[in-house]
Amino acid sequence: MKIGIDLGGSHIAIGVVNDEGKIIDRVEYKLSDLQIKEKKDKMKDYIINSVNELRQEYDITSIGIAIPGTVSSKKIIKSVNLGIENYNIIDDLNDIIHLPITIKNDAKCAALAENKYGCIKGYNRALFFTLGTGVGSAVIINGNLLDTGDLPGCEVGHMVIQKDGLLCNCGKRGCFEKYASMKAFKDALRNKLPYREYQTGQMLEKLLIEKTDDEEINKKIDQTIDEYTEYLALGISNLINIFEPEVIGIGGSFVYFSSVLIPRLKQKLLEENMLFNTRDDIEINVASLGNDAGIIGAVN
């Protein structure tokens, strides 16, 4: 058995994964908006306590950790959404855990899992995106992650799509994820509509599908969807023009809104002169492993 750990900007998910890629036990912990030092300590304590508890029930041979941002073989080099830089997480954990530990970028982990078990399985060329607090991505060529050397690469969330645009956590302006993340989409909805922060993705999806009795609000909803999918299509089209994928997979909290957003996204990609090589269709699949993809991919 292996333990997969998915570190998010607002949560930690830990699962025991068997040899068939199935999660047989899982725990999760919410991270509030803590200071960096406190967040690192909370993460470390929760991981150690959870791993120790799980080892009492399962024969654990190794641990894999999925981390948003740039990582090396041992260190979180830079994670703007965690607010952490130059943190040797493996040595810090191994002072107590004493198990083999590997770390990888979280979007790459999710892509590996979806390529092996999920929505992009069986394709030679695929683009995979995780849309949540930020925008993560991976490129699959002939069934393998695109090799970018010592650094993870493929940080498409930080390609600039708007000159002198919104300030990103990375320090640049106009980054793709400031316009195309699900946080950006939900913030845009809440800025235009009288809906509160605590509402879940499923509740907002129901609102988008069923609409309201107020035509003015419905008009604002449609405008928000149109603006968001315009930005999303702009970024994705640049990557389609480079890699010509057979399929695009999208995970993260996007899955809650996929029935509303994918048709509009496909329409913009195919009908608005965004693609250098025209297509009759483009396959866009929703991640089938959901929030488990990072955990499963971390141990693969």
| The predicted structure's pLDDT at residue 158 | 93
Question: What's the one-letter identity of residue 257?
Answer: F
For residue 81, pLDDT over 80 is answered with no
The model's pTM is: 0.85
Pair 104, 159 in one domain: no
Of 96, 65, 102, the closest CA to residue 82 belongs to 65
Three-class SS of residue 35? coil
Query: Is 200 in the same domain as 278?
Result: yes
DSSP type of residue 213: S
Averaged pLDDT of the chain = 89
Clarify whether residues 132 and 80 are in a common domain. Answer: no
One domain for residues 189 and 272: yes
Q: What percent of the chain has pLDDT over 70?
A: 94
In the chain, how many domains are there? 2
**In terms of Cα–Cα distance, which of 11, 25, 34, 31 is closest to 53?**
25
pLDDT score recorded for residue 182: 92
**How far is 19 from 151, CA to CA, in rounded Å?**
28
Residues 69 and 129 in one domain: no
Write down the pLDDT at residue 112: 93
pLDDT of 198 reads: 43
In a domain, 100, yes or no: yes
The tokens 């991640």 sit on which residue? 287
Instruction: Report the pLDDT value the prediction gives residue 242, as an integer from 0 to 100.
Output: 95
Lowest mean pLDDT among 12-26, 34-48, 222-236, 246-260: 34-48
The range of the structural domain enclosing residue 149 comes to 121-288
